[in-house]
Structure 1
Amino acid sequence: MMPDWILPLALFICVIALVALGLAVLRRPSSGGAEIFAVLAGKLESHGAALDRLANSTMDRLAQQDRLLAERLEGTARRLDEALAAQDRRMAQDRLAAAERLAVQEKALADRLTASATALSEALAGQNERIVTASQGLTETLAQALAGQNDRLAAQAEGLTKAIAAQNEKLARILGEQAQKAQETAGQIHERLAVIDAARQNMEALGSQVTNLVGILGNKQSRGAFGEMQLRQLIEDRLPADGFSWQHVLSNGTRCDCLIRLPHPPGPVVVDSKFPLEAWQALREAGEDVGARTAAARQFGTDMKKHVDDISRKYLITGETADAAILFVPSEAVFAELHTSFAGVVDDAQRRRVYIASPTTLWAMLSAMRALMQDVRMRAQAGRIQEEVVKLVEDVSRLDGRVNSLKKHFDQAQKDIRDIEISTDKIVRRGGRIESVELEDPALAAPQDPALP
């Protein structure tokens, strides 16, 4: 069988040969060109005829090969169909044989399962009978053991109840004493509240009498003395003696007017009683003069901001003081005017964590601080009560250990009593046999000396 690529290759070779021949002719002298072209034409005709014959023969061979290939494919398809049919017949026979074997195996398996189920049922029945018998014996044994255990637990519970009652009595006595102390403390608090109410009334009367405070406070010394005096009266009347200190020196060497000793957090709070009154007095004296009043107001705002900056810089020390300080203004009128006409100064002071307080607002602050201190002290008292309760729990734990130890002694004594009863029963039975002359014949059995357990 000739490959399909032979014919195109032969044609390509002929074309190459003709082109080469034409180039050779072109390179020769033109005098013999006609003869050469004639020869070339003859050769081309002969080559064309040869190519036609080659093409015809190639086509004939290809057609013959196609017929052979078709015949071979037909034979192969026929043989394949026959093989498939034979294979189907064999597979049908195999399936039938496999079904028969599977039926036999299923029957054998069913027989074995039936026999196993019968044997298992019989074994389970016998096992159930044994379990019922063992359960009855175990129930009787457990009932007897539980009866004895309940008696022992009742005795132990009675002893434990008495011990707990004694501990409860002790705890009730301690709690009663604490409650009595709490009532006494509450009474003292009510007395202090009465004193505070009286002081508040006095402060209200005092507030009505200080309308001309600016005229009274004409210089720094008198202003400082007056402000510190009011601050001292408020703090000493409101806080315990160990809750504050006067003219306290901080770690940076700065001396503050008063340091209120609050626990962390928030920590000790510094109170400053020096108020820049010169610009405030100039503002009051300006009267209706708009220019002078504007200048005085500007100067007052500048002085306030400088004083607030000094307080924030000197008195706010991380880890030593609270993150806020109090600027005490000894006049409700000045405090009201600040919040009314100089809200920006108040806001700036709050941003720098310096809070301006009048006698009334400081009174409220001190009340909150006093409550915080009392809460800390009450927590300390609660800690001591908790310690007593922990000790009480430890006593109960020790009592439980002693009860368990006593229980072990009781259990051992009960075991000894049971052993004694067994020995006594043996002795009694032996005595009865002796009394009824039921001793064994020495000739039949060797004498034995049974030992008591």
Structure 2
Amino acid sequence: MSDALGPGSILAIVALGAVVVLAVLLLRRGTGAGAAGEGDLLARLYVMLERETAARTADSEAQRARLAEIERVLAARLDQSRAETADRLATIAQSITRDLGDARVRQGEALREMAEASARQLETIRTAVNERLHEAVERQMQTSFQRVLEQFAAMQKAMGEVTAMTAQIGDLKRLFSNVKTRGGWGEAQLRAILDDVLPAGAYQANCRLREGSAEVVEFAVRMPVRATTPPVLAIDSKFPTEAYERLLDAVNRVDAEAERAARRALETTLRIEARKIASKYIVPPVTVEFAVLYLPTDGLYAEVARLPGLLDEIGRTCRVIVMGPGLLPAMLRTIHLGYVTLALEERTDGIARLLGATRQEMLKMDGVLERLARNASAMSSSIDEARRRTRVVARQLRGLDGVESLVPEGAGDDAAAWTGETEFNGA
């Protein structure tokens, strides 16, 4: 701050510059005696300038001294402020430290009280849980023991039912040992499936396919086609129980050789039955080009399907499709869908005929409307003519109003008669 130029220094420099400029100008103009007078003037100016410069320098020194004093005072005040701030900060730090200590003490006491309360609550909860758990365990044990007793009674009852079922299975085996009875059971099951899926009258039972032949197929399903005599699909039920039971017995005994022999026997039986069906029940055009061999149980069908290439070979050589209870309903639903499609086509034909008749009626209605339009046109012409005559009569009546104003008072009757005659003539 002491090195900075004050206002006095700046004015001194400006004055010195002005004197120098004036001296230069005087030196350029001065010649002879005038030059001596101007030199004297220049000397006086120089003296004045030195005095002014000294005064300005003293003023600058005084300002520097004042600035130094102000700087010293400000530094002292700043030191004092720093000391006061440090004291206040120390006081605040002591207060905060004291408050933190008190807060730690209070927090420790609160935590200790919370821990004691939590311990008491946990002990209460543990006691209640132990009591309830003991009660629940006792109740569960009683319930479990009761359930065990009930299950044991149910198991005894089931064992009795199993014994009875075993006896019934033996009766069923004896029943199925009869070929005719076994075939009747398969036929009844097949009839139930046909009744469930197909509409009424869609199949015929014990149908003779060839005239003069004694061979009848169990079921002949009429195919949904447009024909006077639609072809039928022959379905015959077979239940080779002996071969199937030998196969199951070999599987249960884990006898690989007996299992292979039983599978060969089952395969041979299926081939023979397929050839019989092909020779007896495939009679085009009375029947379609294939027939169905129905196996009454899914287990038997699964074992037949496991025989490699058997189903494909029977279908290719004999044109016989082997199906079980799981596959036959799907094919029958397809046939039923054909019946629905055929009914829709018949409905469509009926709708087409109805639309044709409606079109003819619309054409007739168009002729009637045309005649009605001509009559309406003639009626419109008659109405226009009547309106024209009405306007003529109205004009005549307006002329009659002018005549009545000229008739004397005693000639009222003659005027009325003349008016009536005029109206008659106008009409």
TM-score using structure 1 length: 0.41
**Higher RCO (Cα < 8 Å, 6 or more apart):** 1
Normalised TM-score (structure 2): 0.44
Higher CA-based Rg: 2
